[in-house]
């Protein structure tokens, strides 16, 4: 009898394709709206919203206590644990929503501008929505249902961005961005519930709860520190340099995150579930991690470093001259984005291996080394100094610690570094050529276009070189 269930490899491959298409359409579709919003709002209002988003993301880093990821890696039927996961996620999210509403004025003042308080209070609703959809979203990820996830994400992006733009044109300022996010999130939640593979129920099983907390609490603590290390730069900028400087920094951060969003996030929708299915075969799991790192580097490094090299013409062309102070920030953050892509893939791999305590140690060290460095950078070099300090700490401390954890997990670093050498060198060449183009005085549009073409050429050549790795990723056969 023929098994009607598609092999995991085929499902993962199709899921990755849908996830990549989802991200590309979302990012391209909201590009024009994002440019329009930046030009309408300006650095000050954009900075006010950035303050509110930092406060929101701080809570979202741990609001469901890390238990939803247990759905993805649960070795048996996840419906066993889903009711308990729902109870934990929604209960904790409801409490944190109320807390965020209450402390919004104090948090906004500490982050640089009390005007952000009402925006923070509106965005607090996102915490409760996130808790409600945690299990359905995790189930879609586990079952590689990226087509359905794409519908939810597209509805969220397009509807939210459209509402924000209309409200911004009507003079709502930073609140327009908050209102658009809530509307988009509510619409996406409806889709998640509609296509959830399991019925939505609440329940409580003490044995399951103990297992969930044992798995999730270290991961939640790690996620908090991930947020702290990842967003400490924006906290430092807001608290020390003010909302306008944070507006420049946030725009540069968003622009530098494009390669992360386009290349890393689609893979992260699929990689944890795919790695989890290979837990019974550690050697094959390691080989596929190395292949994924090589292919991802071949695509992401040239893109990131080309943006870094052509930062000034890119900012001038995309957002206009009022945003030019963001260019110096973008140059450093785009280079750091290349490291972030590596870190996120490695993070997912180590999570599946159950090394949540090691991940917590990495994030604690990142935070401990990063904050003093960024404070010094802010004092001596302003907003660009913060970005430079963030990159240098990631390149030295964080990269070294991830390598240490991979070595402890049984992966020989030489095996990983060998296929990464060519993408690193090629990315550096792409960045150098983009920088040279930016110095020629060709105009913002022409310089940005040529830098993009250079990076695309390098990416194409690297993908041809990495055809064996691509073949390996597509041909893995694992029983479901």
pLDDT value for 155: 84
At 90-131, the pLDDT tens digits run 998 899 899 989 998 998 888 878 888 998 899 889 889 988
pLDDT of 264 reads 60
Give the up-direction half-sphere exposure of residue 80: CA atoms within 13 A in the CB hemisphere.
14
- Rounded CA-CA distance 231/333 in Å is 12
341 phi, psi to nearest 5 deg: -65, -45
Q: What's the pLDDT band for 24 if we cut at 50, 70, 90?
A: low
Q: How far is 450 from 430, CA to CA, in rounded Å?
A: 11
The model's confidence at residue 345, banded by pLDDT at 50, 70 and 90, is: confident
84, two tokens: 């308990």
Bigger pLDDT: 77 vs 426: 426
Residues shown for the chain? 480
User: What pLDDT, in 10s, does the model give residues 175-192?
Assistant: 988 899 899 989 989 998
| pTM beyond 0.95 | no
Statement: residue 13 has pLDDT above 70: no
Structure tokens at 438: 């930016």
1 versus 186: the higher-pLDDT residue is 186
Candidate from 155-164, 253-262, 340-349, 458-467 with smallest mean pLDDT: 253-262
């Amino acid at each position: 009898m023929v098994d009607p269930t598609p092999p995991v490899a085929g499902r993962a491959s199709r899921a990755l394709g849908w996830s990549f298409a989802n991200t590309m359409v979302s990012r391209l579709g909201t590009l024009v709206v994002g440019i329009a919003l930046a030009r309408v709002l300006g650095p000050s209002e954009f900075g006010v919203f950035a303050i509110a988003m930092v406060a929101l993301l701080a809570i979202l880093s741990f609001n469901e206590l890390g238990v939803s990821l247990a759905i993805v890696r649960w070795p048996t039927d996840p419906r066993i644990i889903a009711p308990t996961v729902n109870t934990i996620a929604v209960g904790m999210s409801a409490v944190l929503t109320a807390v965020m509403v209450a402390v919004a004025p104090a948090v906004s003042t500490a982050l640089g501008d009390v005007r952000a308080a009402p925006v923070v209070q509106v965005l607090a609703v996102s915490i409760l929505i996130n808790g409600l959809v945690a299990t359905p979203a995790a189930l879609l990820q586990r079952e590689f249902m990226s087509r359905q996830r794409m519908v939810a994400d597209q509805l969220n992006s397009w509807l939210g961005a459209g509402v924000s733009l209309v409200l911004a044109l009507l003079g709502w300022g930073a609140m327009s961005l908050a209102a658009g996010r809530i509307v988009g999130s509510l619409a996406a939640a409806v889709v998640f519930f509609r296509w959830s593979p399991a019925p939505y129920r609440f329940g409580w099983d003490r044995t399951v709860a103990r297992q969930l907390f044992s798995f999730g609490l270290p991961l939640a603590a790690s996620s908090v520190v991930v947020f702290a290390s990842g967003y400490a730069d924006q906290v430092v900028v807001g608290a020390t340099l003010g909302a306008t400087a944070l507006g420049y920094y946030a725009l540069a951060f968003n622009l530098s995150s494009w390669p992360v969003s386009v290349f890393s996030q689609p893979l992260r929708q699929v990689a944890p579930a795919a790695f989890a299915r290979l837990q019974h075969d550690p050697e094959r799991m390691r080989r596929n991690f190395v292949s994924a790192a090589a292919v991802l580097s071949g695509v992401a490094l040239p893109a990131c470093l080309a943006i870094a090299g052509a930062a000034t013409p890119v900012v001038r062309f995309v957002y206009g001259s009022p945003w030019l102070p963001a260019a110096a920030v973008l140059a450093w953050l785009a280079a750091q984005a290349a490291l972030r892509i590596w870190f996120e893939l490695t993070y997912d791999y180590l999570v599946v291996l159950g090394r949540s305590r090691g991940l917590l140690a990495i994030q604690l060290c990142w935070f401990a080394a990063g904050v003093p460095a960024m404070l010094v950078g802010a004092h001596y070099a302003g907003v660009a100094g913060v970005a430079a300090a963030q990159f240098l700490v990631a390149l030295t401390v964080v990269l070294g610690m991830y390598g240490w954890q991979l070595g402890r997990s049984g992966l020989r670093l030489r095996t990983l570094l060998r296929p990464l050498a060519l993408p690193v060198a090629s990315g550096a060449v792409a960045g150098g050529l983009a920088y040279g183009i930016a110095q020629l005085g060709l105009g913002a549009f022409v310089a940005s276009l040529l830098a993009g073409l250079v990076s695309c050429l390098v990416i194409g050549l690297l993908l041809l070189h990495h055809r064996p790795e691509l073949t390996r990723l597509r041909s893995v056969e694992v029983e479901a």
